[in-house]
Amino acid sequence: MVVGDLAEEVDTLIIGSGPGGYVAAIRAAQLGQKVTIVERENMGGVCLNVGCIPSKALIEAGHRFEKAQGTDEMGITTENATLDFSKVQEWKSGVVKKLTGGVEGLLKGNKVNIVKGEAYFSAKDTVRVSGENYNSQSYKFKNCIIATGSRPIELPPFPLSDRVGTSTGALALEEVPKRLVVIGGGYIGVELAGAYANLGSQVTVLEGEKRILTGFEKQMAQLVQRRLKSKGVEFITQAKASGVEETEEGITVSVDVKGEEQKIEADYLLVSVGRRPNTDELGLEQIGVDVTDRGLIKTDKKLRTSVDNIFAIGDIVDGPQLAHKASYEGKIAAEVISGEASEIDYLGIPLVAFTEPELASVGHTEESAKEAGFETKASKFPFQANGRALSLNDSDGFMKLITRKDDGLIIGAQVAGPSASDMIAEIGLAIEAGMTAEDVAMTIHAHPTLGEITMEAAEVAIGTPIHIK
């Protein structure tokens, strides 16, 4: 039975409540629009429920457990450090619940109408939302923002089961595996490999390319690989996994390594080979929204699709699949709909991997700056020369500042080291503000802090380094 066949009219309809969708909804409401947001699963989307937040909670739990076992070089020893993984999972779920509840409260506080169900376009200005018990309601909109996110890519040779899963399943295991195989050496796979290694797993990472973490510079990836190797993680590159056999006790992965067939036994298998945009069940083809061969929605600099009143943001459009990119795009789309002169500019969007050590990059690398036609200077400062890093007993890494050679304008940076994810924000601000290396070098940074590394790298850039020769 169909209920509510008469379409309800709204100013802006948003499909998806992830970090792109809910931010767009709030911003649109702030700008005076009547907003309805549609979510088929959990408020907060992948990021809050099975992505960014639970993974970082698990990573932090791994750090805490590792530190609880003592640090010999600091004179700290501990006996019988124990791990109750069910409590770890309970704590992680509590973090997720608090944040998803917060998102719902923010939406309601901004008078956004929340609708649970699955959306399908029936016209260029109408969406039909199917809820529970096959009930449906149509919504006629002036503008629509599609923010449906992505899902892990599943490979036919590795059907999902209790022992074979994607990142979603890896975050919900009921036990810490004694042995874990990870297919995919990208940031998600390597983050989870590090987390479970700290929790006590023997981890093997299989990567088809010549090295892991290809989204970051080679030297940065080498730091991570060296650190995780010291924790017992095995990396097999140029490896092509071809299948898995499953028993009640575990799994056996078949893998071709440079032409040689190998078998690797483990308790669980994590398949982490990328994500697929959720655009295939929206009815986009029948309303004329242009989509690429990869399923990404084509948009312009204002995030408008080929249908003027429909916008798209987040993992379903071109660019890195990052929560903060989606949030940024959500604000831009909401502002464009409201008549503001906004458009996307991705130069200041950071890339971050919560590996060991953390990796972060913003703006240009040396290579991308050269390709863009810039004459640049790369200025490095090591964490080993920073007092705070030494006192943390975590001094692997460096900051590399990329400046324009003729005037010292900051156009990029790469950071590998503790708190790189936080440190990169200062460089992002410097890029957005059009600051030079001298501007940063002359900014007083508190001592002793990791933030001083940014100042010191800037001093290297202007030729006045104090703490390195």
- Domain spans of the chain, in order of start: 8-152+276-346, 164-273, 357-461
Tokens of 386: 């920073």
Q: What does the alpha-carbon distance between residue 355 and residue 227 come to, in Å, rounded to a whole number? A: 10
Contact call for residues 203 and 190 (beta carbons, < 8 A): no
Q: Are strands 260-266 and 251-257 parallel, antiparallel or unpaired?
A: antiparallel
Q: Are strands 310-312 and 136-146 parallel, antiparallel or unpaired?
A: parallel
Fold of 164-273: FAD/NAD(P)-binding domain (3.50.50)
Residue 2: is its pLDDT beyond 60? Answer: no
197-226 burial, b if ≥16 CB within 10 A, otherwise e?
bbbbbbbbbbbeeeebbeebbeebbebbbe
Angle at 226 between CA 222 and CA 230, to 5 degrees: 170
Fold of 357-461: Enolase-like; domain 1 (3.30.390)
- The CB density around residue 154, as the number of other CB atoms within 10 Å, is 14
Tokens of 264: 């690797």
pLDDT mean over 34-49: 96
Same CATH fold, 357-461 and 8-152+276-346? no
Residue 132: is its pLDDT beyond 80? Answer: no
pLDDT mean over 24-33: 98
249 pLDDT band, cuts 50/70/90, is: confident
pTM of the predicted structure, to 2 decimals: 0.95
Residue 3, pLDDT score:
47
Residue 197: is its pLDDT beyond 80? Answer: yes
Question: Out of 63, 324, 445, 447, which one is annotated catalytic?
Answer: 447
Report pLDDT digits (tens) over 395-437: 999 999 999 999 999 999 999 999 999 999 999 999 999 999 9
The verdict on whether 447 is a catalytic residue reads yes
- May I ask the CATH class of domain 8-152+276-346? alpha beta
* 295 phi/psi in degrees, rounded to 5: 90, 5
Sort residue 315 into left (φ over 0), alpha (ψ -120 to 50) or beta. Answer: alpha
